[in-house]
């Protein structure tokens, strides 16, 4: 019975050494490549969350609320990408959405909001073109 336990221990230690050597010699490249897509997906989700928060901030302006909801639906279905150009556009988009949220919290009837929304639509078009 002792020999069985020793054999199992040797097999477990051998497998552990095998996987450690394999990881050191051949690191996982797929995880590094896939993480860029995951980051892109997170940026898209953050943009959707920002737009949801903005729609909650809007109390009286139904036109603005509908525009924000349509933007949310468009952004929700954007494709994640590992392209560096798309990452730059995503960062600009998120920055503009943050500015838009601040502007909406100040005054939801401001004309500046609609210019900012046009910029966001431009970033979405640019992002779609870059993929």
**Residue 20 domain flag:** no
Among residues of the chain, what percentage have pLDDT more than 70?
95
What is the per-residue pLDDT for 28?
Answer: 66
- pTM for the structure as a whole: 0.72
Mean pLDDT of 2-8: 87
pLDDT tens-digit readout, 68-114: 999 999 999 999 998 899 999 999 999 999 999 999 999 988 899 99
CA dist 96 and 12 (Å) reads 54
Count other C-beta atoms under 10 Å from residue 52's C-beta: 13
Q: Where are the alpha helices (DSSP H) in 26-110?
A: 29-57, 62-76, 84-106
Number of domains making up the chain: 1
The CATH number that applies at residue 113 is: 1.20.5
**Residue 115 domain flag:** yes
CA dist 54 and 116 (Å) reads 13
The boundaries of the domain holding residue 97 are 34-130
**Residue 98 domain flag:** yes
Count other C-beta atoms under 10 Å from residue 68's C-beta: 26
**Residue 9 domain flag:** no
pLDDT, mean over the chain:
89
Is residue 13 over pLDDT 60?
yes
């Amino acid at each position: 019975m002792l020999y069985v336990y020793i054999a199992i221990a040797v097999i477990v230690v051998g497998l552990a050494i095998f996987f450690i050597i394999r990881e050191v010699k051949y690191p996982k490249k797929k995880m590094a490549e896939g993480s860029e897509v995951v980051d892109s997906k997170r940026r898209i989700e953050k943009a959707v969350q920002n737009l949801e928060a903005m729609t909650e901030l809007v109390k009286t302006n139904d036109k603005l609320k509908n525009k924000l909801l349509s933007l949310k639906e468009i952004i929700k279905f954007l494709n994640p990408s590992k392209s560096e150009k798309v990452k730059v556009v995503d960062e600009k988009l998120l920055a503009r959405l943050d500015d838009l949220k601040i502007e909406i919290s100040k005054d939801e009837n401001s004309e500046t909001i609609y210019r900012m929304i046009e910029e966001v639509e431009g970033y979405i078009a640019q992002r779609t073109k870059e993929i």
